[in-house]
Amino acid sequence: MIWPDDARPAVHHIKANGLFHRCLEWQGPPEGGPAVLLLHGLTSCAETWAFVAPALARGARVLALDLRGHGDTDKPGHGYDFPTIRADIEGVMDRLAVDTATLAGHSWGASIAAMVAGQLPDRVDRLALVDGGFIGPVRPGPLSEEELERMLAPAHIYASVETYMGEVRRHFPGPWTAQIEAIALASIYRNDDGTVREKLDRGHQKLILQGMFGQARETEYAAIRCPALMIAAESSDPAAAERMAAKRTRVERTQQVVPQVVVRWVPDTVHDIQLHRPQVLLEELASFVGVPAGAIR
């Protein structure tokens, strides 16, 4: 079970920009509070925020969206570029009467959040980038099919639920619980033959990756006018030293471009901070949004 009885969200299926989008909502305190819109990473879904959203909602109105092609949102064969997804988010905000919100995105969702903040400054009052959204090098040309395949999870892990979950567990260093397993299962379909597949179609993953590596972000990022917070996972594993050096370069480049940004490094954690170190992330987001510390405990 993903949601305890006292933390179950309302589930909206909202028509916006030509699609039905699934959005989870926690209404927040009766006296009101800021709005926070949570955006998941590539191949994930709104359930990834299960350890953060209900507690944050004690002091804020919290929404978690299944982005285009993900989770239980519609999965068209087109529109996986930044401008279209930005229009999706704007439409969802309009339908839910959210004039302005803090956007908090994880991984690819952080890139989406930053682009929305740069292009729709009147709709975003704060921006939180959770281990993603950092400015990196732009490819001079499109990625080849071979390069794209190497970026995706290997096909053999989808042979069964057991092989899929075994791969997920292998990359998760914390205690494995039934709730974390349910969160992981929320992003896949079980096929009739016993195999599984991501809810985000493999071809759509490739469209997103082409956009991620083919678009310069400096212009949009320089247009961000709201306070911004980067929360980055830091590994002390010597085997990750080269990767961490490259990551620090990207973080520093983003700091140079985004006018009002603060960086918080979370030591000894993994990319999915919201699952591995949810309390640390919750406290950072609550402080940033203005939710009293006592409300989230």
Confidence of residue 228 (pLDDT cuts 50, 70, 90): very high
Q: Let me know if residue 170 belongs to a domain.
A: no
List the one residue out of 21, 99, 24 whose CA is nearest residue 54. 24
pLDDT tens by residue, 41-95? 999 999 999 999 999 999 999 999 999 999 999 999 999 999 999 999 999 999 9
Q: Is the pTM above the cut of 0.85?
A: yes
Domain that includes residue 287, residue range: 5-137+219-296
Cα–Cα distance measured from residue 279 to residue 37, given in angstroms and rounded to the nearest whole number: 18
3-class secondary structure for 44-64?
Answer: CCHHHHCCCHHHHCCCCEEEE
> How far, in Å, are 78, 114, 184, 227, 240 from residue 128 at the CA level?
27, 8, 23, 9, 24
Cα–Cα distance measured from residue 168 to residue 187, given in angstroms and rounded to the nearest whole number: 12
Q: Let me know if residue 183 belongs to a domain.
A: no
Is a pLDDT exceeding 80 seen at residue 285?
yes
**What's the rounded mean pLDDT across residues 206-222?**
89
Cα–Cα distance measured from residue 67 to residue 74, given in angstroms and rounded to the nearest whole number: 9
Q: Let me know if residue 157 belongs to a domain.
A: no
Q: Let me know if residue 276 belongs to a domain.
A: yes
Q: Let me know if residue 153 belongs to a domain.
A: no
Domain with 133 in it: what CATH number? 3.40.50.1820
Torsion of CA 290, 105, 78, 91, to 10 degrees: 0
Q: Let me know if residue 196 belongs to a domain.
A: no
Is a pLDDT exceeding 90 seen at residue 260?
no
DSSP conformation letters of 107-165:
THHHHHHHHHHHH-TTTEEEEEEES-----PPPSSPPPHHHHHHHSPPGGGGGSHHHHH
- Counting the structural domains of the chain, the total is 1
Q: What is the mean pLDDT of the chain?
A: 94
Cα–Cα distance measured from residue 16 to residue 93, given in angstroms and rounded to the nearest whole number: 9
Question: Can you give the C-alpha Rg of the chain in angstroms?
Answer: 18
Q: Let me know if residue 148 belongs to a domain.
A: no
Q: Let me know if residue 161 belongs to a domain.
A: no
Token pair listed for 158:
């989808």
